[in-house]
Amino acid sequence: MNLEKLLEQYATLAIYNGVNVQVNQLLVINATVDCADFVRKVVKKAYEKGASEVKVNWSDDIVSKLRYENASDQILSTIPEFKLQEIEYEQNQKCCYLSIRSPNPMIFKDVDPSKLHLEQKASGIAFKPFRNYTMSSIGQWSILLLPNPTWAKLVYPNLEEEKAVEALYKQIFACSRVEEENDVAVAWQDHILQLKRYQNILNTYAFKSLHFMNGLGTDLSVELVENHLWAGGSESTPEGIEFIPNIPTEECFSMPFKYGVNGTVYATKPLNVQGKLIEDFYFEFKIGKVINFDAKKNKESLQNLLDMDKGSRYLGEVALLSNDSPISASGLVFYNTLFDENASCHLALGNCYPMNIKDGEKMSQEELEAKGANFSMVHCDFMFGSNDMTVIGIKEDGQKVTVFENGNFVF
């Protein structure tokens, strides 16, 4: 494996396909300090493509942990005004955002959950006016990950540290369609075209609802909002600038009707919330709302998520992914939502994407809510797809159409 060459390809993907930074556009990179060498490659690519300025905001998970352990509740629940002014400036400049992280999924496992909840809620309230910039694709945004020894050993516990890191690098590149000699742009163009084909078929059917069933016990009906749209792969700004929000990505997603979700869904992969790994959990929905739930591990963190605000017990997204995707085929649990959500059909508690309803980007929050859209400070994906998943689409006239058999699209 020629790591340097692959990282160059990965950096190219981030700038040319991910955020697709434009000439004279501001690029804001939010990165963890252990990604510094790669971030420098990305910054160079951005300037070569014509970015007016590249601004990097650094963070460090260990420093964040120390802050949670030592800062007062008042500090954690206070968002300085200058941070809001900074984001307002960036968005007024029509910036694009790129997140580059090397996650440590267990870093906050011993931190008091109430501390994490306190800051998350304060940030959710303070930054709410700026959330629509990315949720409605007003500006480009993208996220990608790099390995580190701690994360690699979690994914590959039976390998020595160095071998585990190398294996995780290989897996990240493979799932992101990055090879030493391939044309990354062409590989992604072909992939996006396949996802758009699925979306076009789903949009043509215009299902009223979807019925999910598998052997684990999932039996869930998800009604879709009227005039819903399926999206995924790439998105476009109002100016027509195409970008890829998630690298990797395998999903086609749309908007559930807030009050139209009924039944029970069992998760098929662990969920990392506030640094706590939630395992073996389920939700029971009635008239759209989670009315019952349980988890064998870290139920308290799941409780905190559900109690974040009025919208956190309702769904904002439903996503379909074939079980034969590259990430699913790896057979790995990555303990990270960006990768694990692209291995499995998933649902998201919390905030919706206005793009998933016709002319949604032009509507106010009140207009969207009247259509059945859900809003929340959180948007948390959890995975429930399986290799025996059946999905039946039900049209307005009651006609039933098989969408999934044995975990995969049938068309």
pLDDT value, residue 109: 87
- The pLDDT of residue 391 is above 80: yes
Q: What are phi and psi of 60, to 5 degrees?
A: -145, 125
Does residue 292 sit in helix, strand or coil? strand
Mean pLDDT, the chain, rounded, equals 95
Q: Which H or E run contains 118?
A: helix 113-126
Q: What is the pTM of this model?
A: 0.89
In 3D space, the residue among 404, 411, 363 whose CA is nearest the CA of residue 387 turns out to be 404
- The pLDDT of residue 212 is above 80: yes
pLDDT value, residue 363: 94
Across the range 13-23, mean pLDDT stands at 97
Q: Which two tokens stand for residue 189?
A: 């163009």
pLDDT value, residue 277: 87
Peptide bond into 248 cis (omega under 30): yes
Would you tell me the crossing angle of helices 3-12 and 161-175 to the nearest 10 degrees? 40
pLDDT value, residue 78: 95
Contact (Cβ atoms closer than 8 angstroms) between residue 287 and residue 259 = yes
Taking only the tens place, the pLDDT of each residue in 100-158 is 999 999 899 899 988 998 998 999 999 999 999 998 899 999 999 999 999 999 999 99
- The pLDDT of residue 324 is above 80: yes
Q: What are phi and psi of 153, to 5 degrees?
A: -70, -25
Q: Which two tokens stand for residue 346?
A: 């998933």
Cα gap 382→292, rounded to integer Å: 16
Taking only the tens place, the pLDDT of each residue in 170-204 is 999 999 999 988 889 899 999 999 999 999 999 99
Query: In whole angstroms, how far apart are CA 93 and each of 26, 30, 45?
Result: 7, 17, 20
Taking only the tens place, the pLDDT of each residue in 42-69 is 999 999 999 999 999 999 999 999 999 9
DSSP assignment of 354-365, as one string?
GGGBTTGGGS-H
- Domains of the chain and CATH, by start: 3-175 (3.40.1830.10), 198-232+248-409 (no CATH)
By DSSP bridging, strand 96-101 and strand 26-32 are parallel
DSSP assignment of 373-402, as one string?
----S-EEEEE---TT-EEEEE-TTS-EEE
